[in-house]
């Protein structure tokens, strides 16, 4: 038996250590708000084991769309601006158990789901939830339309809307495809083996990992796929890719399997390593309006991190905890988008999943 | 649909809300109280588990969570010596000693469960005690640290017939076990993990675990089993949570458990303690929340159970402008005794305005109540007396094979247990049977 240390509880170093352990565990800066998947006081949340939020997108007006995973997928729309404050369950695509992507077109929504019926696309009109939800309301539930399998026999891996929001570009396990929002027509655009998420880059190109050392590029306007369009920087690239996009300039951020962060610009290519997240793997990330990157990293009990391009520093912000709206710890997150005013929106990929709004600390 | 019958008015007539206790029937002197401190484990600062073993004897956990490197030692009441036997250092038995550098095997938290067929008492450990060289521990802070993170809840099988550890395993990696239940017919253990609040099933035949999923953020402190082998607990918002083996999923009840609607919403109305009725048709439960509520639940009736609101378990008159301390306002130790009545301990405290207790009372005291299931009236039968401090916080209670009551106590160092001898005319041999299968 090693000698047990005795601590003077009044010693400054002991106080400091206890304080670091206590305060350092949770949301060290900014404010987290866990919002239930319902109209609080008006509806019940999405069923507990059908509410793992794994896909998010947002319209230019700041209306959030999402998809869940679990025993059954649900699509939802959420709005927190004006006199709203609601997550509206749009419905359940038949036979689907996992949402992999939600894409907002100019007027319609496309969601990509997997399940026993294969990897399918479903569509719906963008819903209006901008009524006065303090006073009185009359909300219609938009109808979900099954658009069919994207590529027969292949699960969908991810999809994003193009810059014009006229089409979604997606990948299945083996193919690239497009979905035209207006006609709902799905077309195979090429053959690529998907390796994680894809992203819309600074010049309108859509990129995904191409083997162990490159990215492919798809030009939605020209309908052209270019293989090995950009080399990956030195790193451990053996996990599916994740991306975050700075909507001011289209700059992308990604991370390798060890948590090293990189940025990518279509003209300049990849940056060198920007820093390392406190833990690996890196999960969803989003960029706020001043360029700071926020994301989650680590298994089972993710910790939030921030990369600040101004200082070049990466900081550990701890486990997500919400004391507003709902008192809840947040452990696993599936997707993220940047909100209208620079708040970050994280989808909780957990039973009883919530939509988490993060308001970063204002830079002094 | 969930149905709620309110019998609160009758209940309150004899409740702790009264400033001066009402004694009905047997005089308090008939229930002799004796304190047994864990002097053999001076580090012990809490006793979160107390249960009757498959052998009819009383087992308790001498937990040591406040001291760096502290470990739990299970103890047993020795009726021949009228004293406690210290069974073993659990950290040593599961090869995770107090000086490992990790958070320690410091306590057993509502996690003694019997196995009647083979005389095994299963016990699972919980976390919170800091490593031997750190002043405090946070499972969130140290989760990714392999040198500091709790190794995991240890499951230990203690053979009460041979008086030896039969085997051990890790029940839940990296997390503590907040409460444990044994479905002996199916040889399954059920557990809630801390801090992630996941629902686990451990198959004793294969010694494999399955994670069924997360419930919320606030652990319920009890699971209970019904006749259909369904396992019940609660979520953060006071809804029942039910696991049905045939469905293999967690379902949540539409309505909320009884709470005080004046200042509460049902949030944090999670189970603290649940005792089965002797006929196994219903359970009596109390919540882990300030202003804890007592209720009777009929799990075998309807799609969702019928729930009877039995009202507040502790004194109702209180200052609603200030959050009540959960270390003061508490109810636990629910157990049926040989007289067919439910016994439990509820705290009572001096409030100069709302409950100015006479001078002979301590500022905080643990009142032993006797509830008649037929009338739902309760009577105060005695108070727990700690020789040096308060005795208002009781974790668990049990009746041994001689028919006497025992209560685990939290709030002194060393911690310990109380024995409350039952009056002869209310005592019965083997009053612990049928035995409670959860901690």
Q: Give me the CATH number covering residue B329.
A: 2.130.10.10
Task: Please indicate whether, in this complex, the C-beta atoms of A71 and B249 are within 8 angstroms of each other.
Answer: yes
User: What tokens were used for A94?
Assistant: 């038949």
Strand partners, A260: A276
Task: Please indicate whether, in this complex, the C-beta atoms of A4 and B99 are within 8 angstroms of each other.
Answer: yes
Strand partners, B284: B275, B296
Q: B251 to chain A: which residues are within 8 Å by CB? A: 48
CA distance readout (Å), A226 to A191, A215, A233: 11, 9, 18
Quick: pLDDT tens for A12-43.
Answer: 999 999 999 999 999 999 999 999 999 999 99
Confidence at residue A41, expressed as pLDDT on a 0 to 100 scale: 94
Question: Residue B9: which pLDDT band, with cuts at 50, 70 and 90?
Answer: very low
Task: Please indicate whether, in this complex, the C-beta atoms of B144 and A49 are within 8 angstroms of each other.
Answer: no
Kindly report the nearest CA distance between residue A20 and chain B, in angstroms.
Answer: 9
Confidence at residue A278, expressed as pLDDT on a 0 to 100 scale: 98
Q: How many domains does chain B have?
A: 1
| Region of residue B147 (left: phi > 0; alpha: psi -120 to 50; beta: else) | alpha
Q: Looking at domain A29-134+142-359, what is its CATH homologous superfamily?
A: YVTN repeat-like/Quinoprotein amine dehydrogenase (2.130.10.10)
Quick: pLDDT tens for B393-415.
Answer: 999 999 999 999 999 999 999 99
Confidence at residue B15, expressed as pLDDT on a 0 to 100 scale: 35
Q: B195 to chain A: which residues are within 8 Å by CB? A: 329
Task: Please indicate whether, in this complex, the C-beta atoms of B213 and A2 are within 8 angstroms of each other.
Answer: no
Q: How far apart are the first and last CA of chain A?
A: 50
Task: Please indicate whether, in this complex, the C-beta atoms of B133 and A5 are within 8 angstroms of each other.
Answer: yes
Q: Which helix (H) or strand (E) holds A31?
A: strand A31-35
Q: Which residues does A140 contact at the CB level (< 8 Å), separation at least 6?
A: A127
- B153 lies in a domain? yes
Q: How many CB atoms lie within 10 A of CB B403?
A: 20
Interface membership of B18 toward A (CB under 8 Å) = no
Burial tier of A143 (Cβ tally within 10 Å: 0-12, 13-18, 19+): exposed
- The mean pLDDT value of chain A amounts to 96
Question: Residue A6: which pLDDT band, with cuts at 50, 70 and 90?
Answer: confident
The partner residue sitting opposite B141, judged by closest CB among A21, A44, A352, is A21
Task: Please indicate whether, in this complex, the C-beta atoms of B250 and A2 are within 8 angstroms of each other.
Answer: no
Interface membership of B140 toward A (CB under 8 Å) = yes
Nearest to A70 by CA among A93, A87, A41, A36: A93
Task: Please indicate whether, in this complex, the C-beta atoms of A5 and B216 are within 8 angstroms of each other.
Answer: no
Overall average pLDDT of the B369-395 stretch: 97
Question: Residue A129: which pLDDT band, with cuts at 50, 70 and 90?
Answer: confident
CA distance readout (Å), B318 to A280, B8, B314, B325: 49, 17, 10, 12
Kindly report the nearest CA distance between residue B100 and chain A, in angstroms.
Answer: 9
Task: Please indicate whether, in this complex, the C-beta atoms of A329 and B99 are within 8 angstroms of each other.
Answer: no
Question: Residue A1: which pLDDT band, with cuts at 50, 70 and 90?
Answer: low
The partner residue sitting opposite A26, judged by closest CB among B132, B140, B249, is B140
Task: Please indicate whether, in this complex, the C-beta atoms of A329 and B67 are within 8 angstroms of each other.
Answer: no
Q: A22 to chain B: which residues are within 8 Å by CB? A: 136, 138, 141
- B142 lies in a domain? yes
Kindly report the nearest CA distance between residue A348 and chain B, in angstroms.
Answer: 12
Confidence at residue B115, expressed as pLDDT on a 0 to 100 scale: 98
| Region of residue A44 (left: phi > 0; alpha: psi -120 to 50; beta: else) | beta
Q: A322 to chain B: which residues are within 8 Å by CB? A: none
Q: B175 to chain A: which residues are within 8 Å by CB? A: none
Confidence at residue A337, expressed as pLDDT on a 0 to 100 scale: 98
Task: Please indicate whether, in this complex, the C-beta atoms of B143 and A71 are within 8 angstroms of each other.
Answer: no
Q: B104 to chain A: which residues are within 8 Å by CB? A: none
Question: Residue B14: which pLDDT band, with cuts at 50, 70 and 90?
Answer: very low
Question: Is B268 a residue whose pLDDT tops 80?
Answer: yes
Give the count of Cβ contacts less than 8 A between chain A and B: 86
Task: Please indicate whether, in this complex, the C-beta atoms of B214 and A351 are within 8 angstroms of each other.
Answer: yes
Best interface-test mutation with A: which of B96, B106, B140, B248 has the largest number of A CBs within 10 A? B140
Question: Residue A364: which pLDDT band, with cuts at 50, 70 and 90?
Answer: confident
Domain boundaries, chain A: 29-134+142-359
Q: Which of residues 246-305 of B touch A (CB under 8 A)?
A: 249-252, 254, 267
The partner residue sitting opposite A25, judged by closest CB among B67, B138, B252, is B138
Best interface-test mutation with B: which of A1, A4, A258 has the largest number of B CBs within 10 A? A4
The partner residue sitting opposite B68, judged by closest CB among A5, A24, A44, is A5
Nearest to A126 by CA among A81, A64, A83: A64
Task: Please indicate whether, in this complex, the C-beta atoms of A328 and B98 are within 8 angstroms of each other.
Answer: no
Share of chain A above pLDDT 70, in %: 100
Question: Is B12 a residue whose pLDDT tops 60?
Answer: no
Q: A352 to chain B: which residues are within 8 Å by CB? A: 214-216, 235
Q: Which residues does A161 contact at the CB level (< 8 Å), separation at least 6?
A: A57, A103, A104, A105, A110, A167, A168, A169, A181, A200
Overall average pLDDT of the B124-133 stretch: 97
Spatial separation of the C-alpha atoms in residues A146 and A149, rounded to whole Å: 9
Task: Please indicate whether, in this complex, the C-beta atoms of A351 and B215 are within 8 angstroms of each other.
Answer: yes
Q: Which of residues 62-91 of B touch A (CB under 8 A)?
A: 67-69
Residues B255 and B227 sit within 8 Å (Cβ to Cβ): no
Quick: pLDDT tens for A57-76.
Answer: 999 999 999 999 999 999 99
The partner residue sitting opposite A5, judged by closest CB among B97, B132, B140, is B132
Q: A327 to chain B: which residues are within 8 Å by CB? A: 217, 236, 267
CA B179 to chain centre: 8
Spatial separation of the C-alpha atoms in residues B175 and B414, rounded to whole Å: 26
Confidence at residue B10, expressed as pLDDT on a 0 to 100 scale: 34
Task: Please indicate whether, in this complex, the C-beta atoms of B144 and A301 are within 8 angstroms of each other.
Answer: yes
Residues A205 and A199 sit within 8 Å (Cβ to Cβ): no
Quick: pLDDT tens for A141-183.
Answer: 999 999 999 999 999 999 999 999 999 999 999 999 999 999 9
Interface membership of B12 toward A (CB under 8 Å) = no
SS (H, E, C) A304-357: EEEEECCCCEEEEEEEEEECECCCEEECCEEEEEECCCCCEEEEECCCCCCEEE
Confidence at residue A4, expressed as pLDDT on a 0 to 100 scale: 78
Helices (H), strands (E): how many in chain B?
2, 29
User: What tokens were used for B166?
Assistant: 């039969």
Q: Which residues does B399 contact at the CB level (< 8 Å), separation at least 6?
A: B52, B335, B336, B337, B338, B405, B406, B431, B432
Q: A24 to chain B: which residues are within 8 Å by CB? A: 141
Q: B143 to chain A: which residues are within 8 Å by CB? A: 298, 300-301, 319
Task: Please indicate whether, in this complex, the C-beta atoms of A14 and B216 are within 8 angstroms of each other.
Answer: no
- The mean pLDDT value of chain B amounts to 93
Question: Is B3 a residue whose pLDDT tops 80?
Answer: no
Q: Which residues does B132 contact at the CB level (< 8 Å), separation at least 6?
A: A2, A3, A4, A5, B68, B69, B98, B99, B100, B101, B104
The partner residue sitting opposite B136, judged by closest CB among A18, A48, A328, is A18
Kindly report the nearest CA distance between residue B183 and chain A, in angstroms.
Answer: 24
Quick: pLDDT tens for B217-232.
Answer: 999 999 999 999 999 9
Spatial separation of the C-alpha atoms in residues B45 and B31, rounded to whole Å: 26
Question: Is B196 a residue whose pLDDT tops 60?
Answer: yes
Q: Which residues does B320 contact at the CB level (< 8 Å), separation at least 6?
A: B262, B263
Give residue ranges of A with CB < 8 Å to any B CB.
1-5, 7, 9, 14, 17-18, 21-22, 24-26, 44, 48-49, 71, 278-279, 298, 300-301, 303, 318-319, 327-329, 331, 350-352
User: What tokens were used for B67?
Assistant: 């001291």
Question: Is A284 a residue whose pLDDT tops 50?
Answer: yes
Per the structure, the complete domain to which residue B171 belongs is given by: 3-426
Q: A7 to chain B: which residues are within 8 Å by CB? A: 68, 135
Task: Please indicate whether, in this complex, the C-beta atoms of B214 and A350 are within 8 angstroms of each other.
Answer: yes
Burial tier of A94 (Cβ tally within 10 Å: 0-12, 13-18, 19+): middle
Q: Which of residues 351-370 of B touch A (CB under 8 A)?
A: none
Q: What is the DSSP string of A157-224?
A: EEEEE-TTSSEEEEEESSEEEEEETTT--EEEEEE----B--EE-TTS-EEEEETTTEEEEEETTTTE
Task: Tell me what ipTM this predicted complex has.
Answer: 0.96
């Amino acid at each position: 038996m090693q000698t047990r240390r005795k601590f003077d509880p009044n010693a400054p170093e002991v106080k400091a250590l206890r304080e670091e352990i206590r305060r350092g565990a949770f949301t060290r800066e900014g404010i987290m708000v866990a919002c239930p998947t319902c109209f609080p006081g008006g509806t019940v949340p999405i069923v507990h084991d059908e509410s793992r939020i794994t896909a998010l997108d947002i319209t230019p007006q700041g209306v959030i769309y999402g998809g869940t995973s679990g025993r059954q997928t649900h699509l939802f729309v959420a709005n927190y601006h004006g006199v709203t404050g609601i997550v509206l369950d749009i419905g359940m695509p038949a036979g689907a158990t996992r949402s992999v992507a939600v894409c907002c077109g100019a007027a319609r929504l496309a969601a990509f789901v997997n399940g026993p019926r294969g990897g399918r696309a479903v569509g719906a009109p963008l819903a209006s939830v901008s009524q006065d939800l303090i006073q009185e309301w009359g909300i219609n539930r938009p109808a979900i339309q099954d658009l069919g399998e994207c590529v027969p026999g292949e699960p969908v891996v991810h999809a994003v809307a193009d810059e014009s929001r006229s089409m979604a570009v997606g990948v299945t396990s083996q193919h690239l495809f497009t979905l035209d929002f207006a006609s709902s027509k799905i077309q195979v655009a090429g053959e690529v083996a998907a390796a994680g998420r894809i992203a819309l880059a600074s010049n309108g190109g859509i990129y995904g990992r191409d083997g162990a050392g490159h990215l492919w590029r798809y030009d939605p306007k020209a309908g052209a796929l270019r293989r090995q369009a950009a080399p990956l920087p030195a790193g451990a690239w053996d996990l599916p890719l994740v991306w975050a996009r700075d909507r001011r300039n289209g700059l992308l951020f990604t991370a390798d399997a060890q948590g090293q962060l990189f940025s990518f610009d279509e003209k300049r290519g990849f940056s060198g390593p920007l820093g390392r997240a406190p833990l690996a793997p890196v999960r969803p990330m989003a960029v706020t309006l001043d360029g700071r990157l926020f994301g989650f990293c680590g298994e089972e009990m993710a910790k939030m991190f921030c990369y600040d391009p101004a200082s070049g520093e990466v900081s550990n912000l701890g486990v997500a905890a919400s004391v507003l709206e709902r008192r809840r710890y947040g452990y696993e997150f599936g997707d993220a988008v940047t909100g209208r005013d620079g708040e970050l929106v994280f989808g909780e990929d957990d039973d009883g999943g919530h939509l988490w709004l993060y308001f970063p600390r204002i830079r002094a | 649909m969930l149905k709620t019958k309110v019998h609160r008015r009758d209940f309150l007539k004899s409740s702790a809300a009264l400033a001066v206790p009402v004694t009905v029937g047997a005089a308090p002197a008939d229930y002799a109280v004796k304190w047994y401190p864990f002097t053999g484990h001076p580090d012990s600062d809490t006793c979160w588990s107390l249960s009757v073993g498959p052998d009819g004897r009383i087992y308790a956990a001498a937990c040591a969570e406040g001291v760096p490197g502290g470990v739990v030692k299970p103890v047993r009441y020795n009726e021949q010596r009228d004293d406690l036997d210290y069974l073993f250092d659990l950290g040593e038995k599961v090869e995770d000693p107090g000086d490992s550098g990790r958070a320690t095997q410091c306590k057993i938290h509502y996690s003694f469960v019997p196995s009647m067929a083979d005389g095994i008492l299963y016990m699972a450990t919980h976390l919170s005690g800091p490593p031997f060289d750190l002043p405090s521990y946070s499972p969130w802070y140290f989760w990714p640290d392999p040198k500091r993170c709790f190794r995991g809840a240890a499951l230990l099988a203690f053979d009460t017939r041979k008086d030896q550890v039969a085997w051990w395993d890790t029940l839940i990696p990296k997390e503590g076990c907040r409460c444990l239940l044994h479905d002996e017919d199916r040889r399954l253990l059920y557990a809630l993990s801390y801090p992630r609040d996941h629902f686990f099933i451990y198959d004793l035949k294969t010694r494999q675990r399955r994670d069924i999923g997360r419930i919320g953020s606030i652990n319920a402190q009890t699971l209970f089993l019904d006749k259909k082998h369904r396992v019940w607990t609660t979520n953060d918002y006071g809804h029942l949570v039910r696991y049905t083996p045939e469905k293999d999923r967690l379902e949540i009840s539409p309505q909320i458990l009884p709470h005080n609607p004046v200042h509460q919403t049902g949030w944090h109305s999670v189970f603290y303690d649940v005792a089965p009725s002797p006929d196994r048709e219903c359970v009596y439960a109390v919540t882990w929340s300030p202003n804890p509520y007592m209720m009777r639940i009929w799990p075998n009736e309807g799609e969702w159970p019928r729930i009877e609101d039995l009202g507040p378990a502790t004194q109702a008159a209180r200052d609603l402008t200030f959050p009540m301390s959960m270390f003061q306002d508490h109810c636990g130790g629910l157990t049926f005794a040989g007289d067919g009545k439910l016994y439990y301990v509820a705290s009572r405290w001096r409030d100069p305005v709302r409950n100015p207790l006479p001078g002979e009372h301590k500022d905080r005291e643990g009142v032993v109540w006797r509830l008649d299931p037929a009338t739902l009236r309760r009577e105060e039968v005695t108070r727990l007396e700690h020789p040096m401090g308060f005795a208002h916080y009781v974790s668990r209670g049990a009746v041994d094979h001689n028919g006497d009551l025992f209560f685990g106590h939290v709030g002194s160092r060393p911690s310990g247990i109380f024995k409350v001898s039952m009056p002869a005319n209310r005592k019965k041999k083997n009053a612990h049977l049928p035995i409670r299968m959860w901690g």
